[in-house]
């Protein structure tokens, strides 16, 4: 049995340190917006090469609060990818704005920067790129387009903490960056958690107030906010785990290298794009997922199930075809690259402790399934 992701190993290998940290929060008694959240905000801001950070309830709330703080609302349009988790467009919809989709680059699975220009209208306020699977988007192109049209950039870094592009960390390119500490993310806590990062002092002030019911002074409320604070307990766990994040991300990258080698000779498998070419060079992915493409995904899925190997389909239905966005009026065929990715993508087991022997087993299963599909017989 090889899981897609194994969260217990991280805890067990740092158990004493994490347990001690949790006990100390229980004992100091300051459970909401205490010293641990403040300290973690400083650490994460530094880590992400940003000036400010605000600890919030989830990655979804970080996105929601970023758009609220930017004053984006009804009548405004936000450009994003149809191939992402629903939280991305949920945040856009919750502020009353309209998501405008731009298709992905099939090689990177990320928004295709060359197609953004054509989607810009007089109502466009922001671009919301998602660094999917831990791979940075082409930020040079996106920053250039945004600057030309006076647009904000809100980066969805939920899957990409620690990833960098041209040597700079994701989250530091745009107006704001949004992180998730959902347990299975590269830096995960023991529940929900998220963070907003920015270099803009005014935006920082606004989000800091919005997360605490819209008031700077207790029981004095200047604006309609949310109850969206990162817990002290989660913050102390994250403080312990942050020290190991670079090590864990490096281990993910080594595991990705091994998969690349193991699967190199399988013609029916497209491994994640690696080769530097054009403007997709110099991206440092943190491999939140290792996602391959296969044409006959169903047969690979049943072989993986039979072999006891975990896998994920991120995501089976692109957002423009989701019921929640039916009112946008998109049809099948509107974003063909995203639709093809949704049919063909499959994420293999990926976590820092994944062993070469486990990967060998995964690769053998993939190899057999793909060979059987090619020869036309069910495995």
Ligand X SMILES: *Cc1c(COP(=O)(O)O)cnc(C)c1O
Residues that bind ligand X (CB under 6 A): 58-60, 84-85, 87-88, 130, 156, 158-159, 180, 182, 192, 194
In the complex, the smallest distance separating the C-beta of residue 298 from ligand X, rounded to whole angstroms, is 24
CB nearer ligand X, residue 55 or residue 59: 59
What DSSP state is assigned to residue 155? E
Closest CA to 129 of 149, 150, 157: 157
In the complex, the smallest distance separating the C-beta of residue 132 from ligand X, rounded to whole angstroms, is 7
In the complex, the smallest distance separating the C-beta of residue 95 from ligand X, rounded to whole angstroms, is 15
In the complex, the smallest distance separating the C-beta of residue 367 from ligand X, rounded to whole angstroms, is 29
Tokens of 315: 């995501």
In the complex, the smallest distance separating the C-beta of residue 294 from ligand X, rounded to whole angstroms, is 22
The residue sitting closest to ligand X, measured at its beta carbon, is 59
CB nearer ligand X, residue 290 or residue 359: 290
Cα–Cα dist 269/371, whole Å:
10
CB nearer ligand X, residue 47 or residue 85: 85
Residue linked to tokens 């997922």? 289
Grouping H, G, I as helix, E, B as strand and the rest as coil, residue 97 is coil
Beta bridge partners of 100: 79
Helices and strands: H and E segment counts in the chain = 11, 13
Cα–Cα dist 339/62, whole Å:
27
Closest CA to 175 of 210, 147, 135: 147
Closest CA to 238 of 61, 53, 2: 53
What's the distance, Cα to Cα, between the start and end of the chain in Å? 19
CB nearer ligand X, residue 65 or residue 366: 65
- Burial pattern 312-321, b for ≥16 Cβ within 10 A else e, equals bebbeebbbb
In the complex, the smallest distance separating the C-beta of residue 158 from ligand X, rounded to whole angstroms, is 3
Grouping H, G, I as helix, E, B as strand and the rest as coil, residue 70 is coil
In the complex, the smallest distance separating the C-beta of residue 156 from ligand X, rounded to whole angstroms, is 5
In the complex, the smallest distance separating the C-beta of residue 110 from ligand X, rounded to whole angstroms, is 11
Q: Is 132 left (phi over 0), alpha (psi -120 to 50) or beta?
A: beta
Cα–Cα dist 257/285, whole Å:
12
């Amino acid at each position: 049995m090889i899981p897609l992701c194994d969260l217990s190993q991280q805890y067990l290998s740092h158990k004493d340190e994490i347990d001690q940290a949790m006990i100390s929060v229980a004992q100091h008694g300051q459970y909401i917006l205490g010293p641990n959240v403040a300290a973690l905000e400083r650490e994460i801001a530094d880590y992400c090469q940003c000036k400010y950070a605000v600890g919030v309830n989830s990655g979804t709330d970080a996105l929601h609060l970023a758009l609220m703080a930017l004053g984006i609302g009804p009548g405004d349009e936000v450009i994003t990818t149809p191939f992402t988790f629903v939280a991305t467009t949920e945040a856009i919809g919750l502020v009353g704005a309209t998501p405008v989709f731009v298709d992905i680059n099939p090689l990177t699975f990320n928004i295709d920067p060359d197609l953004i220009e054509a989607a810009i209208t007089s109502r466009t306020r922001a671009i919301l790129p998602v660094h999917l699977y831990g791979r940075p988007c082409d930020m040079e192109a996106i920053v250039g387009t945004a600057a030309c049209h006076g647009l904000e950039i809100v980066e969805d870094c939920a899957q990409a903490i620690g990833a960098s592009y041209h040597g700079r960390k994701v989250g530091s390119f745009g107006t704001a960056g949004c992180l998730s500490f959902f347990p299975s993310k590269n830096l995960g806590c023991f529940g929900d958690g998220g963070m907003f990062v920015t270099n803009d002092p005014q935006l920082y002030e606004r989000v800091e107030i919005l997360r605490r019911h819209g008031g700077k002074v207790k029981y004095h409320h200047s604006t309609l906010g949310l109850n969206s604070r990162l817990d002290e307990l989660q913050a102390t766990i994250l403080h312990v785990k942050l020290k190991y994040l670079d090590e864990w991300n490096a281990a993910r990258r080594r595991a990705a290298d091994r998969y690349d080698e193991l699967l190199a000779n399988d013609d029916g498998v497209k491994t994640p794009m690696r080769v530097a070419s054009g403007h997709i060079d110099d991206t440092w992915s943190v491999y939140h997922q290792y996602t391959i493409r296969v044409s006959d995904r169903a047969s690979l899925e049943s072989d993986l199930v039979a072999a006891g190997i975990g896998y994920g389909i991120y995501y089976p239905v692109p957002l423009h075809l989701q019921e929640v966005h039916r009112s946008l009026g998109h049809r099948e065929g509107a974003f063909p690259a995203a639709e093809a990715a949704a049919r063909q993508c499959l994420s293999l087991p990926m976590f820092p402790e994944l062993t070469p022997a486990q990967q060998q087993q995964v690769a053998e299963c993939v190899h057999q399934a793909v060979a059987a599909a090619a020869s036309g017989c069910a495995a």
